[in-house]
Amino acid sequence: MRQDGFRAEEIDTSRPHPARIYDYLLGGKDNYEVDRDAGDALAAAAPEVRVGVQANRAFLRRAVQHVVGSGVRQILDIGTGLPTSPNVHETAQDIAPDVRVAYVDNDPIVHTHAGALLSRSGVTSIVLGDLRDPQAIVDHPDVRRIIDFDEPVALLLVAILHFLTDAERPGEVVAALRDALPAGSYLVLSHATGDFADRSAAQAVYSKATATLNLRSHAAVGQFFDGFDLIEPGLVQAPFWRPDAPPPPGSDEIGFWSGVARKAG
């Protein structure tokens, strides 16, 4: 029997999933013991991880506020993860109630939880899709129902690209999505890095999960912005992207590069 486009037996709770680990580290409840064990191991390997995921979430909020404040009225959020309030559509619609948001994730559990949350079917959608197949996302009818690719779009790739290996060509994935966007669109991106500390122990935790953790340098993450113009302050650690409060203690060690860029005409 299929529910919401997938079979119940397709839900894998035997291995930790990045979205559910992230939910646990944020203090959420949509996770399993295997995810909590992985989250605890991750925190032991990288003590700043809980502060880091909170900083990454705060960056997402500020970035959404910026792009909506700049006039964008549609958002494509790929790798949305489990719903954590305030969600992207809540943040965006607090500024402009007519903002439309299409969420995409490859975890059936995320799909189910987000589908239950999103009742405003004319304004939001949730799509079960995989970043590794960007054209399928762009062409999906539930994405097309929400997103008009003739008008500027804010593309969110927040804490997702580091789950693609180099062999999966993440640069080409981003380029394919970029090419689907019109001028005036934005890319909001954050990515884990080992630039500030040896994080091989953290990577080992994800070796047992449904996706590996692939850390990249500032220069490598910067290449994802090819074809876009980074806005100030450029590609920086998450707490330092246009902060609206004092950065938390230990921010200098937070291993997330974050940036927002605009596609010029």
Q: What is the pLDDT of residue 7?
A: 46
Which of the given ranges, 7-11, 26-30, 215-219, has the highest pLDDT on average? 215-219
Q: What is the pLDDT of residue 83?
A: 62
Q: Is the pLDDT of residue 2 over 60?
A: no
Cis geometry, peptide bond prior to residue 182 (ω within 30 degrees of 0): no
Q: What is the pLDDT of residue 117?
A: 61
Q: What is the mean pLDDT of the chain?
A: 90
Task: Report the relative pairing of strands 74-78 and 100-105 from DSSP bridges.
Answer: parallel
CA–CA distances in Å: residue 175 to residues 55, 198, 211, 254, 263: 27, 29, 22, 27, 12
What is the mean pLDDT of the segment spanning 200-211?
92
Distance CA 72, CA 205 (A): 38
Task: Answer for the pair 238, 49: CB distance below 8 angstroms, yes or no.
Answer: no
- Sign of the torsion angle spanned by Cα atoms 109, 114, 116, 121: negative
Asked which of 72-81, 121-130, 134-143 is least confident by mean pLDDT, the reply is 121-130
- The model's pTM is 0.92
Q: What is the pLDDT of residues 240-256, one digit of tens each?
A: 999 999 998 889 989 99
Task: Give 220's pLDDT tier (boundaries 50, 70, 90).
Answer: very high
Listing DSSP states for 150-202 in one string gives: TS--EEEEES-GGGS-GGG-HHHHHHHHHHHSPTT-EEEEEEE--SSS--HHH
Which of the given ranges, 28-32, 121-125, 258-262, has the highest pLDDT on average? 258-262
Q: What is the pLDDT of residues 21-70, one digit of tens each?
A: 998 999 888 889 999 999 999 999 998 899 999 999 999 999 999 999 99
Q: What is the pLDDT of residue 75?
A: 98
Residue spans per domain, the chain: 2-262
Domain 2-262 has CATH 3.30.530.20: no
What is the mean pLDDT of the segment spanning 84-94?
87
Q: Is the pLDDT of residue 181 over 60?
A: yes
Q: Is the pLDDT of residue 4 over 70?
A: no
Q: Is the pLDDT of residue 216 over 90?
A: yes
